Structure 1
Amino acid sequence: MNSCHRHIQRLSSGSGNKPLTNSSSGDTFRCPICLEEVRNPKYLSCLHTFCESCIQTYISSTATCHDSLNTKTINCPVCRKRIDAPRKDISNEEWASSLPQNKLIVSMWLNSNPDKELCKFCERKEKKVSATHWCKACMETICDECKAFHELVPSLQNHKIVNITDTQVCGNDVEVKELCLEHKGKVVDAFCHQHQKLCCCICLATHHISCQRVQAIAEMAVEKERNHVLNIISTLSDLDQSIENMQQKSREKIDHLNSKKQEMCMKIDKAITELKTLIDDAHSALIKQFEQTHSDSIENLEVAFDELKRFSTTVRETKILLQSMLEKGSPKQLFVTKQNQLARIDDHISRLKSLDVWNHPEDYTLPDSNFLKQLLNQKKLENVKMLKTPSGMVEKIIQTVQRATSSDIMRRKRDASKKDWMKVTFKLVSQVTELSSWIHFGIFTHDTKILLPCRRPPSLNIFDISEPIGKCVYTEKCRYTPYGICHSRVNETLNEVYVSFQNCVVLYWIEVEDTPKFTKLQTIQLNEPMLAISCGLTTMFSANDSKAFICSQDFIIEHESPYSSGNANVPHLASSSKSDYHCFTSDGRVVVFDRNERNVFQSDKFQEEVRGMTFDLNDNIFVCNKKNKIKQIRFGGGEIRDIELDGISTSYTVALHPTGEKMLVLDFYGKCCVYHIM
């Protein structure tokens, strides 16, 4: 094990004299290097925080010169991200000193700081004067004289100063100016929902000037952020426990393999000694191979154990910071901290996924212990075999983190996917009558709103289906004829909708809860006309009267093939939200294929006219057939059932609510019915 590994191995074995402890959770924020209360906290670009003296020592012992850049670099002791020195000729002491101070932690642990009795301003003048106040902007204790100095200097007059004896005022409302990592000295004060990025004023002017969904952090919904952070903290606690369980299983597996190795070596030695000189060379070769296999196996498990330990540090730090921000931080700081910490966890998970250490050694097997027969027939001994099984550790981590950060739609969808969808029933809850006969598609834009595009006259219509009889509540007139519609899966929201206008596709943000409003986020010009579109897990599927296309998320064509919609007025197709499968009709059959156009399966030929279709949450397929029912095909074929629907005489198009809680069916004769799925 190299020196860096030995250095990090101390993460879970040390203890501090008087650690800083969060009063609510009992967790401790320690320096990952010395494992004691963090002193003069400095953080790297990956946001991991250390004592200044500890990170200076670490830089001195591990910094190397990068050949291509001719500059010094280190790897973060926790996540192993490469960190470059700010300039070529900087000393190790200057490098550590130039790292930004984590003022968030300084403010967070103010009440636990035993050094707050002295005025920090006077200490720099080598004077020892008792402190009486705390400056929240300077993040330091000051005396009466220095407080008066603040009042005289114009640049200091806006600083908020509180009495140091009022611990509650000192500790609450943590508000640290979060600086932009890209533009030095600029404060983060906005968030781009379209790109999920924190922004300063320069970011907005250079990278997000055309983005439609940019919001000032000060305007964020406080209660929504608090609820999201509470959910993240709860899930991170589960994740922390899961990691501890994984580490324990790894240690148990190491003990088992060590024991099994001893047992098998004794068995091998006993058999080998009976063959005497004839097998001495073969014996030596076998043990050498076995030792190497065992060494590789243990090293694999130890590396996995070590990586889990590093990730546990990231998780615990995130949990502590979020808990503290929830209790003491301002709404802006709560939101900024949440976004930074989630990005840090995502970066660390990406590193874990890139490591080839998660197929764990499971056991050893010896193919045959008749060594004499082996030597006579093969002139050598058969090697010990290593059985490996996937550990599932990274997958478990990813699944747990996704549960913490997923939207309400994702959580509801996950719950609905647990049903046996070949047995669900449908209850009619609303119907819209007297529709234009030129409506071929529909989707949900809210739990109680649906969007229906009309070709004559060209328009996008919002219908309220909260009552048994639905009604149109808004019409967005269109310059060109709208055809296909589908949800964007980028942010898993009902509000982002793609609409195809044959030669272009427009991405709308649709507000429906108060006064309906359509905002164009993006217009994509098409190289081929597209009349029907659907969004899969990673690819788009579309078609016109003669061709079908598999496209990237920005509708760049990756595959195309001949296609015919038959007797239908428009193409009918669908994409799965669970896996990257797509389906369409061909010669009276429903055909399912993957993103590379490989055929997955196709149904038997139907006698009826097959029209619109959609995948359910188990990848079974609902298909309209111009009758008072729809068909459901089990994924892979083999089972088909007919579902009779109240209110429908000629089913034409079907669409599922992204959560799987509702379904809409368009009747061929100007009617739409909405069903609750049970």
Structure 2
Amino acid sequence: MATSETKTFIVDDVRVCSICYEKFKTPRYLPCKHSFCHVCLSSYIISQCKSKEARLGFHCPVCRSYIPSLGDPEKPEDWVGLYPINDVLQKLVAGPDETYCEPCLRDNEREKTSDYCLSCNEYLCMLCVKYHRKNMASRDHTIIKISEMLSMPIVPEKRLSNCCPKHKNEKIQMYCHEHEQPCCGLCVGTEHRKCEKVDTVENVAHILRESRKMDCMLSDLNTFRRNLMKVKNEEMNNISEIENMVDESVAKLEEETSDIMQHIEQLKKEHINEMFLTQKNGREKLQREIEKIEDGVSCVDNCKEEIEKAKGTENNEDLILKYFTAKEIFQKIKQNNFKRIQLKIASEKEPSWMKITTEIRKIANVKLSEITRVFQFDISTVELTKFKEFPIENATIYCGLFLSRGRFLVVKHKGDETCLVYDQN
């Protein structure tokens, strides 16, 4: 472990983790491009999620960007494995201070390296850099000077392209409507070979641009965020309410006990301590709920930012990945069961309180009552948009239900009850 005297010296070294201040061990990088040791990042994520009930993501230790996680909210200890290993940093840390050009070494030649290709993940000498930039297959590769590598954030270039979520070396080419999942050609030939509707990314991107799906999702995100903020403000007001309740109770108690004997004064002090402890517990409980709401708001903001980026990009693959990643995260947010908690503090006086007697052992019973309501949309404030209209002859419809994969179930009622399922067409 680095000492405090050496921290300022090594903190600017790209090979050093900004959490433990030691050279990277299995570095993993976040979407914001900052890298950390596997163990350091795992410990940080767990510590950040420990006090939160809605474990939807965390903030980067360096830039404080919100990082939503697609992992199990109940298992934040497994999230670190979802972030890719920084192969370039791992190679830079593991290698000796003096390195040789890797293409030359394959020809049994030893030429000192001058640059590094992020695309090939290889050290290059000056001559190989020259031919690297001339070759049509490698002229677009990102090459940086070795001297610059030690003072700039490094992320493997191949990880930044629009790759298949399951096959990192393959670009997304298709989209499966049944699984609502972008995929590569390898996925289509294996996991999705029996799926009936697999489309190209160009067609899906065109549909997304022409339809109102992204606008509808933005509307849902804005509505959900407004509701989260409303609950947050209500719970912050609730903190003031319970504080006022305690203050009023304490003031009333002071008035009632002004002429009571010394041993009653001691009971009064014990009662005040109990009330403030109850207030503290109530405040902490509400504060945890507020942090949960704030976590949801941050996650929603991140989804909104990704959707806005998707709307503004001309890159089809990037648009699809951003949209469906945001959609998946948004689904997890909505499944988190946000709830509104309202606390009240009541002081139930003992019948013997007004009797001045040595038998009095307690002034009042202090309790924290809790009313929990699962977070729901206010249907009166929801803006409805007609998506599809279709006729059903000789029938009265009295209920319906949205199913998966764009299907809709209705119950026809006229003498008997018949269930009809319609698809999105």
**TM-score for both structures, normalised by structure 2:** 0.58
1:62 has 2:47 as partner: no
Identify the residue that residue 364 of structure 1 maps to in structure 2. Answer: 345
Check conservation: 1:220, 1:332, Cα contact below 8 A: no
Letter in 1 for 2:34: E
Question: In the TM superposition, what are the counterparts of 1:111-130 in structure 2 within 5 Å?
Answer: none
Q: Classify the secondary structure of the residue corresponding to 2:178.
A: coil
Instruction: Quote the Cα distance in structure 2 between the aligned partners of 1:180 and 1:374.
Output: 77
Instruction: Quote the Cα distance in structure 1 between the aligned partners of 2:45 and 2:225.
Output: 31
Q: Classify the secondary structure of the residue corresponding to 2:171.
A: coil
Residues 389 and 85 from structure 1, CA distance in 2 versus in 1: closer, same or farther, beyond 3 angstroms? Answer: closer
TM superposition shift of 1:385: 4.1
Residues 488 and 85 from structure 1, CA distance in 2 versus in 1: closer, same or farther, beyond 3 angstroms? Answer: closer
Residues 278 and 487 from structure 1, CA distance in 2 versus in 1: closer, same or farther, beyond 3 angstroms? Answer: closer
Check conservation: 1:374, 1:380, Cα contact below 8 A: no
Question: In the TM superposition, what are the counterparts of 1:539-618 in structure 2 within 5 Å?
Answer: 574=411, 611-613=415-417
Instruction: Quote the Cα distance in structure 1 between the aligned partners of 2:114 and 2:140.
Output: 27
TM superposition shift of 1:236: 2.8
Identify the residue that residue 490 of structure 1 maps to in structure 2. Answer: 403
Letter in 2 for 1:332: E
Q: Classify the secondary structure of the residue corresponding to 1:98.
A: coil
Question: In the TM superposition, what are the counterparts of 1:207-606 in structure 2 within 5 Å?
Answer: 207-220=191-204, 222=206, 224-225=208-209, 227-280=212-265, 282-350=267-335, 352-353=336-337, 358-361=340-343, 363-368=344-349, 372-373=353-354, 380-390=362-372, 394-396=375-377, 411-412=385-386, 447=389, 489-491=402-404, 493=406, 496=407, 574=411
TM superposition shift of 1:294: 1.3
Q: Classify the secondary structure of the residue corresponding to 1:274.
A: coil
Instruction: Quote the Cα distance in structure 1 between the aligned partners of 2:83 and 2:404.
Output: 39
From the two aligned structures, give the one with the greater helix fraction: 2
Question: In the TM superposition, what are the counterparts of 1:124-273 in structure 2 within 5 Å?
Answer: 149-152=132-135, 154=137, 156=138, 177-220=161-204, 222=206, 224-225=208-209, 227-273=212-258
Check conservation: 1:233, 1:319, Cα contact below 8 A: yes
Check conservation: 2:349, 2:363, Cα contact below 8 A: no
Residues 235 and 448 from structure 1, CA distance in 2 versus in 1: closer, same or farther, beyond 3 angstroms? Answer: closer
The answer to which structure, 1 or 2, has the higher relative contact order (CA under 8 A, 6+ apart) is: 2
Identify the residue that residue 125 of structure 2 maps to in structure 1. Answer: none
The two structures, once aligned, show a CA RMSD in angstroms of 5.2
Instruction: Quote the Cα distance in structure 1 between the aligned partners of 2:37 and 2:356.
Output: 58
Residues 290 and 100 from structure 1, CA distance in 2 versus in 1: closer, same or farther, beyond 3 angstroms? Answer: farther
Instruction: Quote the Cα distance in structure 2 between the aligned partners of 1:448 and 1:491.
Output: 19
Check conservation: 2:162, 2:171, Cα contact below 8 A: yes
Instruction: Quote the Cα distance in structure 1 between the aligned partners of 2:370 and 2:206.
Output: 48
Check conservation: 1:271, 1:371, Cα contact below 8 A: no
Identify the residue that residue 76 of structure 2 maps to in structure 1. Answer: 82
Q: Classify the secondary structure of the residue corresponding to 1:287.
A: helix
TM superposition shift of 1:341: 0.8
Check conservation: 1:177, 1:188, Cα contact below 8 A: no
Residues 260 and 157 from structure 1, CA distance in 2 versus in 1: closer, same or farther, beyond 3 angstroms? Answer: same
Residues 319 and 488 from structure 1, CA distance in 2 versus in 1: closer, same or farther, beyond 3 angstroms? Answer: closer
TM superposition shift of 1:234: 4.0
Check conservation: 2:310, 2:319, Cα contact below 8 A: yes
Instruction: Quote the Cα distance in structure 1 between the aligned partners of 2:302 and 2:315.
Output: 19
Residues 332 and 52 from structure 1, CA distance in 2 versus in 1: closer, same or farther, beyond 3 angstroms? Answer: closer
Residues 217 and 367 from structure 1, CA distance in 2 versus in 1: closer, same or farther, beyond 3 angstroms? Answer: same
Instruction: Quote the Cα distance in structure 2 between the aligned partners of 1:448 and 1:348.
Output: 32
Taking only the aligned residue pairs, the percentage that are identical comes to 14
Q: Classify the secondary structure of the residue corresponding to 1:265.
A: helix
Instruction: Quote the Cα distance in structure 2 between the aligned partners of 1:656 and 1:209.
Output: 25
Check conservation: 1:367, 1:384, Cα contact below 8 A: yes
Instruction: Quote the Cα distance in structure 2 between the aligned partners of 1:125 and 1:76.
Output: 39
TM superposition shift of 1:303: 0.8
Structure 1: gaps spanning 5 or more residues? 1-32, 34-40, 44-48, 66-74, 88-94, 102-123, 128-134, 139-144, 161-174, 405-409, 414-445, 453-485, 498-534, 537-573, 576-582, 584-609, 616-654, 660-678
TM superposition shift of 1:343: 0.6
Structure 2: gaps spanning 5 or more residues? 1-18, 20-27, 48-56, 60-66, 89-111, 121-127, 143-158
Instruction: Provide Cα deviations, 1:241-285, integer angstroms capped at 9, x if missing partner.
Output: 444444333333223322332232232233245332453564355
Letter in 1 for 2:299: T
From the two aligned structures, give the one with the greater strand fraction: 1
Instruction: Quote the Cα distance in structure 2 between the aligned partners of 1:146 and 1:656.
Output: 62
Q: Classify the secondary structure of the residue corresponding to 1:302.
A: helix
Check conservation: 2:163, 2:171, Cα contact below 8 A: yes
Q: Classify the secondary structure of the residue corresponding to 2:298.
A: helix
Aligned length: 327
